[in-house]
Chain A
Amino acid sequence: DAGITQSPRHKVTETGTPVTLRCHQTENHRYMYWYRQDPGHGLRLIHYSYGVKDTDKGEVSDGYSVSRSKTEDFLLTLESATSSQTSVYFCAISEGTVISPLHFGNGTRLTVT
């Protein structure tokens, strides 16, 4: 399995507090992604990165920011958490070639109360 570690695995936080989720990879892959998964919606892309300090928005980026200061780390920040951001968050990586698959971490379950 691809070396992807998400932390924390579970978090409960209160509305209005900042939250940062971390994704760490040991594969030296160029591309990193943050998805959220909610019942009835499948996986939706929040933000992605195509290199150190190179990031862009996905389809559900409002309320989220990201940073990638090193190849191996991709951080997702909720500046002021809301109940609508209660979800399971998955990090994924890919090499970026046409045939390279997407590898996922095991997710972070975030509950905003």
Chain B
Amino acid sequence: LAKTTQPISMDSYEGQEVNITCSHNNIATNDYITWYQQFPSQGPRFIIQGYKTKVTNEVASLFIPADRKSSTLSLPRVSLSDTAVYYCLVGDRAGGYQKVTFGTGTKLQVIP
């Protein structure tokens, strides 16, 4: 199983771009990288996923270097409502998520 390492917490001011990096040195060929966001008292919510290079959607961008041993979630111009825990998941999901483990995530605090 590909283990992930993320910073435990980060602080950012409103309006700034936030980059959260996840290390996954033993990522396998079949593994996708997925990021989730979790607000207090709610279940995690899918943000973005990718396999290589760059992926962008209306919420975030995901940067994955060629060696795929790390990935960076980029949140543009954060607001107070982006305060949450962000999880990086890496694993072979063919056949389900039972082989994919959640780490403890990165707690992002957006400051006014």
Identify the A interface with B (CB < 8 A). Answer: 4, 31, 33, 35, 40-45, 48, 50, 56, 58-59, 90, 92, 94, 96-107
Contacts and interface: CB of A to CB of B under 8 A. Distances in A.
Contacts, number: 68
Interface residues of B, number: 24
Contacts of A43: 44, 87, 102
B102 A44 contact: yes
8 contacts: A41-B104, A59-B101, A98-B92, A98-B93, A99-B32, A103-B46, A106-B41, A106-B43
Contact of B102 (A42, A99, A107): A42
A102 B95 contact: no
| 4 A-B pairs with least C-beta separation | A104-B43, A101-B46, A43-B102, A42-B104
A98 B30 contact: yes
Contact of B32 (A42, A56, A98): A98
Contacts of B30: 98
Interface of B: 30, 32, 34, 36, 41-46, 49, 87, 92-98, 101-105
Given A42-B104, A99-B32, A90 B43 contact: yes
B97 A92 contact: yes
Contacts of A4: 43
Contacts of B104: 40-42
